[in-house]
Amino acid sequence: MHPLFIRYFPNQLIKIFAKPYVAGDNEDKVIKLARQIYLNNNFLSTLDVLGEDVKSYNDINKFVNIYFDIVRKIKKETIYSDTYKQPSISLKPSCFIISQKDNKGNLLVDKMDWEYCFDNILKVCNYAKQNNVRVTVEMEDRHWVDFTLATYQKLLAQGYDNVGTVLQTRLYRSQDDIKIFDNKSRVRLVIGIYNEPAEFALTDKNKMKDLMIDFSKILLEKGSFLEFASHDEKYIKKFISEVIIPMNIPTEKFEIQMLLGVPRFKLQQELVNGNLLETLDRDKVYKHNKKINFRLYLPFSQNWNDALAYCRRRLIENPNIVLYGLKNII
Ligand SMILES: Cc1cc2nc3c(=O)[nH]c(=O)nc-3n(C[C@H](O)[C@H](O)[C@H](O)COP(=O)(O)OP(=O)(O)OC[C@H]3O[C@@H](n4cnc5c(N)ncnc54)[C@H](O)[C@@H]3O)c2cc1C
């Protein structure tokens, strides 16, 4: 399907594809869902505010305030036994800066106020740290990587040990970027959602996924906390049987993450009840607790218009999601 075709999809149709993937249209709904999946299934969560392209300083302030609000609400929750188990927050740097783009949609990196962006991210991370909430600074397309990694390093250097970030295996540069991580890092490892030109990135998904295995070994050897984010059952099993079991990595050192709405419930249950690791540990060499921590990504928005605009943009960037949606429905 040509991506531009999606521009003409009516809102109702976008909503059909978007609904299973959106946790709700206000903070209370997402907090409630996080609580339910924790109590019912022992699933952890990370909460992300959906947003359209930021157009004004007002929009940016709105994002900062929603994140403050959500942190306050997480803090009030009493059911979580520790900071790790309570919901974390995930944020995209593009919510905290007015993006300048050329007519092809490429970011005009030199024309943007990165300092202002950093200050806003810092505000959220600082408030989150004061309230013992963990934050993940997410990775967007290749234009954002320098800033995002520099932000992550700067925050860590300033003592924000509540902050983690994301590494995308598809980008060639990640082979170098991985070197910045060490035993103080928390890294979400993904193949990357943004279609990038072959000049900058792998185009073969299997190669990206093979690198998920290679990169996870490197990160775990360095002592980083690893968040393996994928829905591919084959690769999740490969990760456990070829990395976790032979390296005897305790379950406190990693977790598996998936997006809300992608139907993998049986697999998710087997992760958290220990059955998957038990089955894959055929030679009985694994010495630790076999219950794997699993975190669900819960995106939410303050109203459906924001969510729909965001989902439409994501669908245009990655029309495969429409195909995923159809496949998941079937
Ligand atoms: C918790 C989490 C956080 C993420 N954060 C980032 C980030 O910060 N930056 C970034 O670039 N990428 C991020 N991603 C996206 C990631 O890079 C991949 O694009 C996505 O996970 C799909 O890759 P996969 O490994 O699941 O393999 P795929 O082969 O793409 O997917 C395997 C199967 O999962 C299902 N599926 C996968 N994705 C979707 C979807 N969106 N909707 C419906 N069904 C789907 C489909 O059935 C598909 O066939 C994140 C993913 C997760 C799970």
3-39 residue pLDDT tens: 667 777 788 887 777 788 889 888 999 999 999 999 9
The residue whose CB lies within 8 Å of the most ligand 1 atoms, and thus the one to mutate among 191, 228, 257, 321, is 191
Is the pLDDT score of 323 beyond 80?
no
pLDDT at residue 1, as a whole number: 57
Question: Ligand 1: which atom is nearest the Cα of residue 295?
Answer: 1
Please name every residue paired with 126 in a beta bridge, in sequence order, or none if there are none: none
Question: Which residue is closest in CA terms to ligand 1's atom 34?
Answer: 231
- For the chain, give percent helix, strand, coil, nearest 5: 50, 15, 35
Element (H, E) at 254: strand 254-259
Question: Ligand 1: which atom is nearest the Cα of residue 235?
Answer: 25
The residue whose CB lies within 8 Å of the most ligand 1 atoms, and thus the one to mutate among 144, 190, 237, is 190
The conformation of residue 171, written as its DSSP 8-state character, comes to B
Question: Ligand 1: which atom is nearest the Cα of residue 170?
Answer: 17
Going from the Cα of 321 to the center of ligand 1, the distance in angstroms, rounded, reads 9
Q: Please, are residues 219 and 249 in contact by the beta-carbon 8 Å criterion?
A: no
The residue whose CB lies within 8 Å of the most ligand 1 atoms, and thus the one to mutate among 16, 259, 321, 322, is 259
Going from the Cα of 112 to the center of ligand 1, the distance in angstroms, rounded, reads 29
Q: Cα–Cα distance between 130 and 67 in angstroms, integer?
A: 13
Going from the Cα of 115 to the center of ligand 1, the distance in angstroms, rounded, reads 30
Going from the Cα of 78 to the center of ligand 1, the distance in angstroms, rounded, reads 31
Question: Which residue is closest in CA terms to ligand 1's atom 19?
Answer: 193
pLDDT at residue 20, as a whole number: 81
On average, the pLDDT of the chain sits at 92
Is the pLDDT score of 87 beyond 60?
yes
Name the nearest CA neighbour of 48 among 38, 62, 32, 63: 63
Element (H, E) at 90: strand 88-91
Name the nearest CA neighbour of 73 among 116, 113, 34: 34
Most confident of 170-174, 257-261, 303-307: 170-174
Question: Ligand 1: which atom is nearest the Cα of residue 209?
Answer: 25
Is 317 buried (19+), middle (13-18) or exposed (0-12) by CB count in 10 A?
middle
Question: Ligand 1: which atom is nearest the Cα of residue 212?
Answer: 25
Fold annotation for 23-300: TIM Barrel (3.20.20)
Question: Which residue is closest in CA terms to ligand 1's atom 37?
Answer: 231
Report helix, strand or coil for 249: coil
Question: Ligand 1: which atom is nearest the Cα of residue 192?
Answer: 17
Q: What is the pLDDT of residues 122-161, one digit of tens each?
A: 999 999 999 999 999 999 999 999 999 999 999 999 999 9
In percent, the amount of the chain with pLDDT more than 70 equals 93
Residues 6 or more apart whose CB falls under 8 angstroms from that of 307 comprise 18, 22, 25, 50, 300, 301
pTM of the model: 0.94
Amino acid residing at 283: D
Report helix, strand or coil for 260: coil
Confidence of residue 312 (pLDDT cuts 50, 70, 90): confident
Across the chain, which distance is largest between two alpha carbons, in Å? 58
- What is the domain partition of the chain in residue ranges? 23-300
Question: Ligand 1: which atom is nearest the Cα of residue 257?
Answer: 1
Token pair 């959500």: residue = 70
b/e map 179-188, b = 16+ CB within 10 Å: eebeeebbbb
How far does Cα 185 stand from its chain's mean position? 15
Q: Please, are residues 169 and 216 in contact by the beta-carbon 8 Å criterion?
A: no
Task: Name residues contacting ligand 1 (CB within 6 A).
Answer: 138-139, 166, 168, 188, 190-194, 205, 229-232, 257-259, 262, 297, 321, 324-325, 327-328
pLDDT at residue 302, as a whole number: 82
Q: Please, are residues 64 and 123 in contact by the beta-carbon 8 Å criterion?
A: yes
Q: Please, are residues 164 and 187 in contact by the beta-carbon 8 Å criterion?
A: yes
Going from the Cα of 164 to the center of ligand 1, the distance in angstroms, rounded, reads 18
List the structure tokens of 185: 């890092």
Going from the Cα of 324 to the center of ligand 1, the distance in angstroms, rounded, reads 10
- Kindly give the pairing relationship between strand 88-91 and strand 163-168: unpaired
